Structure 1
C-alpha cells in the first residue's frame, strides 16, 4: 500500500512537471499596476538555458540580477498563485522587471547604494535560500511573498542554486547544493561591509542543508566568521538528518543568534525524505528538543498549523493563521533583534527549555481576536 502511494505521488509529480517548462520565467512589464511590487536581488550559479532563462545546469560564473516581482493583491495570505505559460497580471506572481548587475563589483555597489537609501532603522537584509525541486522563478516568488506577507522592512536577497526543479531530481539537488557552497560563502562575504544593520539568513528544506554546510566551511576557514557576519539564522522545514545537523552545528564554534528551526510532525515531504534516506529522522520533523539540548537554538513547532499536504512543507510561510500569529506585537522583529531565548524573542506559545535549547509550541488558539 505504501509503495502504491509512493508511486502514485511520483507519477503525479512527473505528469505535473511535464505540463510546462519550469525554467520559463519571462519578464512581463505589462502588469499595469495590478499588483504590489516587491524588489528582490538575485545571486545565482545556475547556467543560462538556450532561450536565455536560468535552468538546472551548473555554472562556475555567478550571475547577479535585480528583479521586480508583481504580487496579486486579491489572494489569501501565504498563498503563491503562479502559472508558467498563462500567467495573468493581478492574478499570478510575475516578474515585472529585471536588470543585470555588473558582476560581483556591481552587486556590491548596488547593494550599498540601495541600503544607504533606506532609513537607518530599515537597513536590514533578509537572504532566502530555496529548497528541493525549485526553479529560478520559484525561489524569487517565495522570497517576494515572505517579504510582502510578513511586511519585512529592508532588502530581499535570494540565493538561487541549480535545483533540477523536478520531483525525481533529489540526487541532482543534493549534488547541486554541495556545488553551491562556495558561491553562497562568497555572497555572504560580499554582504559584509555594505552597510546592512542586520543580516538574517533563511534556508528552506534542502536549502537549509546548503546553509549549514556553508556556515561550517566558513567557520573552519575563519573561526567565528558566521557569528560575526550574521544576526540570525532561520531554518524552515530543514531536510537534514538530525545527527548530521548536530555534527555541523558542533563544528561551528558559535552559532549565530538567534538560531530558529521551524518544525512540523505533519510535514509530508520530510516523511517521504525520511523513507528515501533509510528512515533517518529529519530535523524539520523533530518532535522534541532534547536531541538538540546542548545547542543554543530555538525549535518552533508549527504542527498545529500544518492543515494541508501542500502547505505542510512550508507552513511557516504559507499558513495565514501562523503568519498572523508571528506578526503580532512585532514578534519577528524582536526575534531577529534579541538573544536566542523565546521569552525574550517575543514568540508567543508554550515554552519548554531543555538545557541550552528552547522549544516553542504554537497553536491557532493563540491568535488574538
Structure 2
C-alpha cells in the first residue's frame, strides 16, 4: 500500500493554550519541506485514537488506531530540552529555532505500520522502539515534537513512536483528559501488541497523566496473561507521573514484577502536581513524592530533580526531567546512564551526582547540579 502524504495545508492549524502565558495560537503540526535541510531530522511514528477531520487531528475520540510517519526537524539553535513549536507568521516559522515537520505520511493500516516500523529499525540498526505517551494538555504537534526532542537530546538509539491519546489540548480540559486517559488504555495495549508483532522490543516512556495510562496497561497485560508482550518491555520511565500514590501501589501490586529498569522522575518544584493534588484532596502525587517510603516495597528508582528548574515553556516545572538543560546534559554525558533504557540504572547510580538512598527495594537519587563542561 502506498503512503498518503500529508501536506503543509492539511496540517496547518490547531490551537493550544499554554499555562501562565494566556491563549496563544499555535499550529498543531506545521509541515515545512525545506526544514529537512536546516535541522536534524528525526523519524517519529505516531499511533492515535484521535479523529482526523477537516485536515487536522481533533480532540474527539475514535475506537480504532490510525498510524502516521513524520520527519520532525529538530532546530539547530536551541537549548537542550527546549521545544518551540513552529508558528504561522509572516515569512513562515524560524527553522533555526522552531520545531516543525518536514514531511508526514498516513500509513493506512496496521500491516503497513508494522512494515514501516521494521524498516526504520533495520535502518537504525536497532530492535527497540521508544514509545512515548504524552500527558495533560497536549496536542498532536506538541507530543510529536516532545518525542523527537527526547530521542534526540538523550541520544536514544531506538525508533521513536508517539502514542497520541485524545487530550483536549487545553489547560481547562483536565476532567476531559482524565476521562480520555481511561479511554486510551485499550489503544495503548493494541499499539504495544503491534510493536511486538513487528518483532521489536519496547521501552515505555510517559509524562503526567500518560503515566497513568501506562500503569493501567501494564496491569491489563498482566491480568490478561499477555506475557508475550510484557516480556518485550525492556524498561519504563515515568516523568512527573500524575497518579495518586495509593492507586499506583494498587497498580504496581497487581502487575507484580515490574519491567526493569523502572524509573520515576520526581520534583518538589512541580507546581502542576501541587494543583492536581489539591483537586484530589491529597498532598502528594507519585511525581512529587519527597521520600521513597510509600513505594519502597516495589523495585523502582526515583530520580528527584527538585534542584533544577524546568526549561523554557515549562513554567510549572512539570517536565524538568526532560526540559531542564542541566538534567539533560547530566544524563547524556554519563555514558553508562545513557544506556539506562537497556540496563539496570540502579547499577549505575554511583555515576550520578547527588545523594543516593536505598529503602527496601526502592532507590532514590537526589540529583544535584554539577559544573558541566
**TM-score, normalised to structure 2's length?**
0.88
Whole-Å separation in 2 of the counterparts to 1:354 and 1:36: 42
Measured against aligned partners, the alpha-carbon deviations of 1:264-292 in whole angstroms (never above 9, x if no partner) come to: 00001111111111134200000101111
Cα-to-partner distance string for 1:174-201 (whole Å, 9 max, x where unaligned): 01011111110011011114243x4210
1:354 aligns with 2:359: yes
8 Å contact kept, 2:193–2:229: no
The structure with the largest helix share of the pair is 1
Residue of structure 2 equivalent to 1:5 = none
In structure 1, the partner of 2:332 is: 327
Matching residue within 19, 32, 35 for 1:28: 32
Distance 1:27 1:168 in 2: 28
Q: Is the CA contact 1:218–1:225 (under 8 Å) kept in the aligned structure 2?
A: no
**Displacement over 6 Å in runs of 4+:** none
Distance 1:321 1:47 in 2: 38
1:214-229 to structure 2, matched below 5 A, reads 214-222=217-225, 224=227, 227-229=230-232
Q: Deviations over 1:44-92 (max 9, x none)?
A: 0001132x11021101221100101111101111111124433332221
Q: Is this contact kept in 2: 1:227–1:257, CA < 8 A?
A: no
Contact 1:43 1:65 in 2 (8 A): yes
Q: 1:334 to 1:145 in 2, by over 3 A?
A: closer
The more displaced of 24-33 and 201-210 is 24-33
**Which residue of the partner structure matches residue 167 of structure 2?**
163
CA contact (8 A) 1:164 1:172 kept: yes
> What does 1:91-106 correspond to in 2, within 5 Å?
91-106=97-112
Matched, 1:363 2:340: no
Task: Identify the range of structure 1 (141-150 vs 76-85) with the bigger mean alpha-carbon deviation.
Answer: 76-85
The separation in 2 between residues aligned to 1:195 and 1:333, in whole angstroms, is 24
Q: CA deviation at 1:109?
A: 1.3
CA distance in 2, matches of 1:225, 1:352: 34
1:337 to 2:342 alignment? yes
RMSD: 2.1
Q: Indicate if the aligned counterparts of 1:305 and 1:322 stay in contact, CA closer than 8 A.
A: yes
1:317 to 309, 322, 340: 322
TM-score by length of 1: 0.89
Stretch of structure 1 that moved more, 319-328 or 30-39: 30-39
Q: CA 1:251–1:225 in 2, change beyond 3 Å: closer, same or farther?
A: farther
Q: Match of 1:65, SS? A: strand
- Gaps spanning 5+ residues in structure 2: where? 1-16
Residue from 69, 85, 95 that aligns with 1:66? 69
CA apart distance, 1:342: 4.5
Q: Distance between the aligned counterparts of 2:18 and 2:321, measured in 1?
A: 25
Is 2:122 aligned against 1:116? yes
- Equivalent of 2:300 in 290, 297, 317: 297
